[in-house]
């Protein structure tokens, strides 16, 4: 069965990248001391996927190199919390290859990519979540 049918997508509303169907794609602006709360409807899941995105920065030690950007995620009270740490580069930083963060109840991988730029006290974030077809389908 094609992935779009298995996930309940209508073909006219799809964006497909490789073998992944886009379920969320937005550009957001966020002041450095605030959090982004968002939801994405994962096909064939009863409840929307709730997420919170926030930004933290490690202090640079005197004479030391700036810490590299990284992202960590965890689930608290059914909310996926994504901490983008040290993504404060004015020229931006990216996750350019899709990274798996979860698996749907039907066994499909949920992956994301991101691009983040910080100018002064404002973050600009391009964030995209996708559902990937099972390898055995």
Q: Give the pLDDT confidence of 50-102 residue by residue, as tens digits.
A: 999 999 998 887 777 888 899 999 999 999 999 999 999 888 999 999 999 99
Per cent of the chain over pLDDT 70 is 88
Report yes or no on 137 lying in a domain. Answer: no
More confidently predicted of 46 and 127: 127
Report yes or no on 62 lying in a domain. Answer: no
Report yes or no on 120 lying in a domain. Answer: yes
- Give the structural domain span for 74: 3-57+67-132
The end-to-end CA distance of the chain, in Å, is: 8
Q: What number of CA atoms fall less than 13 Å from residue 80's CA on the CB side?
A: 18
Whether the pLDDT of residue 41 is over 70: the answer is yes
Task: Confirm if 117 and 111 have CB atoms less than 8 A apart.
Answer: no
> Residues 38-71, buried b or exposed e (16+ Cβ, 10 A)?
bebebbebeeebebebbbeeeeeeeeeeeeebeb
Residue 16's CB: how many other CB atoms inside 10 A? 14
Report yes or no on 48 lying in a domain. Answer: yes
Report yes or no on 79 lying in a domain. Answer: yes
Report yes or no on 86 lying in a domain. Answer: yes
pTM of the model: 0.82
- Phi first, then psi, for residue 20 (nearest 5°) are -115, 140
Looking at the structure of the chain, the number of domains it has is: 1
């Amino acid at each position: 069965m094609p992935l779009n049918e298995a996930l309940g997508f209508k073909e006219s509303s799809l964006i497909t990248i490789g073998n992944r169907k886009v379920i969320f794609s937005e550009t957001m602006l966020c002041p450095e001391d605030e959090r982004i709360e968002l939801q994405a409807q994962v096909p064939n899941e009863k409840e929307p996927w709730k997420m919170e995105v926030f930004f933290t920065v490690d202090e640079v030690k005197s004479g030391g190199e700036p810490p590299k950007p990284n992202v960590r995620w965890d689930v608290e009270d059914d909310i996926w919390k994504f901490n983008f740490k040290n993504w404060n580069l004015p020229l931006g930083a990216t996750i350019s290859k899709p990274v798996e963060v979860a698996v749907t109840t039907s066994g499909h991988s949920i992956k994301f990519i991101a691009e983040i730029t910080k100018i002064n006290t404002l973050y600009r974030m391009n964030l995209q979540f996708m559902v990937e077809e099972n390898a055995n389908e």
